[in-house]
Copies of this chain bind each other. A is one copy, B any other.
Amino acid sequence: MAGRERLLVIGGDAAGMSAASQARRRRGPDELEITVFERGHHASYSACGIPYLAGGVVADAGALIARTPEEFRDRGIDLRLRTEATEIDLPGGRVRVRGLDGGGERWEHYDRLMVATGAVPARPRLPGADAVGVHGVQVLGDGIRIRRVLDDDRPRRAVVVGGGYIGLEMAEAMVTRGLEVSLVDGADQPMRTLDPDMGALVADALRGVGVRLYLGEPVEGFDTSGGRVTAVRTAERVLPADLVVLGLGVRPGSDLARAAGVETGATGGIVTDRRMRTRSEGVWAAGDCVETRHLVSGAPVAIALGTHANKQGRVAGVNLGGGYATFPGVAGTAVAKICRSEVARTGLNEREAAEAGFETITAAVESTTRAGYYPGVTTMRTKLVAERRTGRLLGAQIVGEEGAAKRVDGLAIALWNGMTVEEMTGLDLGYAPPFSPVWDPVLIAARKAAERVEEDMRAAP
């Protein structure tokens, strides 16, 4: 068919499928052929739901799958599962793909290429790391496998390696299932994206639900017996384990694109412009494999998060479909729930702000989620990081319980707009006793921060 273009998409998850869907909305099958290659057994699923599948909060894997391959095919998107892209040939405008269930290798031609290769989980190069019973938490299959182990093998002791979001969510999942859970991390606190004082509150909350924390203890290896993991070793102890979960973070999965000559940045992520175009003609990229701009520091960052992947994929798809859309960057917002505890952050923490060259003033306040007399009221701590002198909000962190974490949205929007903590004290936020004390915690924190900025000014004019 004359003039019909071919779009190949590598990676069938959040970014890839969002891009494919948007491009299809704008250009019909007569104009644009869309083929997606996905290495895994599933596409278009919520990776963030894996801990809830593993722990049984979500009944079955199907609940995490937004759309089936058939649904995509009905929309004119040819989604090929178990098909791995092994090489990109930029000058030739083609991608080499391999059927993982047989079918050999072949070259596929493209007019436009969308790279959505996601993230690569950090896996320790340690003895025993590949033993049976050591699980990653990356693809849907990992969640299905862990769930099956919890359901069928009834393990008693679990060790989680890594105290980031995924590690904590997996710890919650297994505590809820009644396992004896230990969490090991080389860092001195869980959630390194929080400042130490706020991280300490998370550590307390984890201990409070029965998780044994071993912080500042890098894992040195895994004991095995007959190919099965039996324990996790640190310099200080041996932790017996029927089950090990690795939540060590991820890096951008940009190897394939880099090998082809697509430019990547200092973070390891693929460099794109705000329309999600790479520096290579006809090649677009989105999701965990790219780097993006942090709106406060201005620096490139690689933050693997489904919400960014969806937004970036959509932007790429709109542009691939002949429209115009841009991705502005990220504010570093994140929220997590671990049993009753809610944790949130946005912008820069103290360390990040210092690295970005800011002098800072901080203020942390203890307040409540609702009016003190309203049932279900809980205590929450809100910390703000503001620029010294100007008082511009640079970052915020929250640790609390029900109703606490989503307050980070308002803080993220304030920060996005460059508000100062002084300006924020006047904000008109929703108040009624079931939702907030008469001074919302966000306002109380802003007031305290504004006072601190003023005190500092007076102390050193």
Contacts and interface: CB of A to CB of B under 8 A. Distances in A.
A267 to B, nearest CB: 17
Nearest to A62: B373
A407 interface: yes
A337 interface: yes
Contacts of A419: 413, 417
Given A14-B438, A306-B438, A335 B430 contact: yes
Contacts of A58: 373-374
Given A409-B442, A433-B49, A64 B417 contact: no
Given A305-B431, A346-B430, 19 more contacts: A46-B373, A49-B373, A49-B374, A295-B428, A306-B431, A307-B428, A326-B426, A334-B432, A335-B432, A335-B435, A335-B436, A337-B435, A342-B435, A344-B430, A409-B429, A409-B430, A410-B410, A412-B429, A417-B417
Contact of A307 (B48, B408, B434, B439): B439
B440 A409 contact: yes
A246 interface: no
A397 to B, nearest CB: 12
Residue among A64, A406, A416, A436 with max Cβ neighbours from chain B (10 Å): A406
Contacts of A110: none
A452 interface: no
Interface residues of A, number: 66
B438 A307 contact: yes
Interface in A50-79: 52, 57-58, 63-64
Contacts of A413: 410, 413-414, 417, 419, 427, 429
A429 B373 contact: no
